[in-house]
Amino acid sequence: MLVNKDRLEALREEIGADGFEEVVSLFLQESAEVVERLGAQRPGDLSAEDLHFLKGSALTLGFDDLADLCRRAEMGDPAHPSDLRAVWEQSCAAYDAA
């Protein structure tokens, strides 16, 4: 699932509408920087710290597919940076469409 709408709604209820927009904006900005850094790395040799950050942020916002891809890469699955970028872009587009 690209975007878990139930998770998004739960987050919105937890922190309020204003806080929600701030969290989403911050996630999109910071995750774009991380995805860019990961894109400069070789497949199978991705920064564990960046993967962990991206996974945690994705879980917070219900970007389930992205979180799963990061989790698998953390566990040694040779994820390709272009796959991470594609899933991140798809997740952002699905969020915008929601």
**What would the pLDDT profile of 17-64 be if each residue is shown by its tens digit?**
889 999 999 989 999 999 999 988 888 788 999 999 999 999 999 999
The confidence score (pLDDT) of residue 45 equals 82
3-state secondary structure of 62: coil
Could you tell me which residues come within 8 angstroms of residue 8 by beta carbon, excluding any fewer than 6 positions away? 61, 62, 95, 98
Question: Letter for the amino acid at 87?
Answer: V
Mean predicted lDDT score pLDDT of the chain: 92
- The rounded percent of the chain whose pLDDT value lies above 70 is 100
Residue 4 to residue 21: CA distance in whole angstroms: 16
Whole-model pTM: value is 0.91
Model pLDDT, residue 12? 94
Check residue 78 and give its pLDDT: 82
Q: What residues contact residue 97 under an 8 Å CB cut-off, 6+ apart?
A: none
Q: Count of domains in the chain? A: 1
Q: What domain range includes position 59?
A: 5-97
